[in-house]
Amino acid sequence: MQVVRRLASKFRKPAHGRVTSAVSLPDGIESVKNELSTIGRAIVSVVVELHDEAGAHTLYASVEWFITRVAEK
């Protein structure tokens, strides 16, 4: 199960042309895997940044997810 707990975004500048995105996990994937394997749930923060074709930083967003491990059948 996955549920969004919190979402915050800041629009910085209007985008012109093509837009690219970059996503990162500030706590790292190993931390998430460890929490899921030991306690069966984790809170995961994901950072999303958008830039237009000129390199202008157009959006910063942070999404916090609550994730639980699904029991195998």
- For residue 16, the domain's CATH number is 3.10.129.10
* Domain-embedded: residue 25: yes
The per-residue pLDDT for 51 is: 98
The per-residue pLDDT for 62 is: 97
Total of domains in the chain: 1
Cα(65)–Cα(52) distance, integer angstroms? 26
* Domain-embedded: residue 73: no
Task: Judge whether residue 71 has pLDDT over 80.
Answer: no
* Domain-embedded: residue 40: yes
Domain around 7:
2-68
Q: For 6-36, how does the pLDDT look when each residue is reduced to its tens digit (9 = 90+)?
A: 999 999 999 999 999 999 998 889 999 999 9
The per-residue pLDDT for 54 is: 96
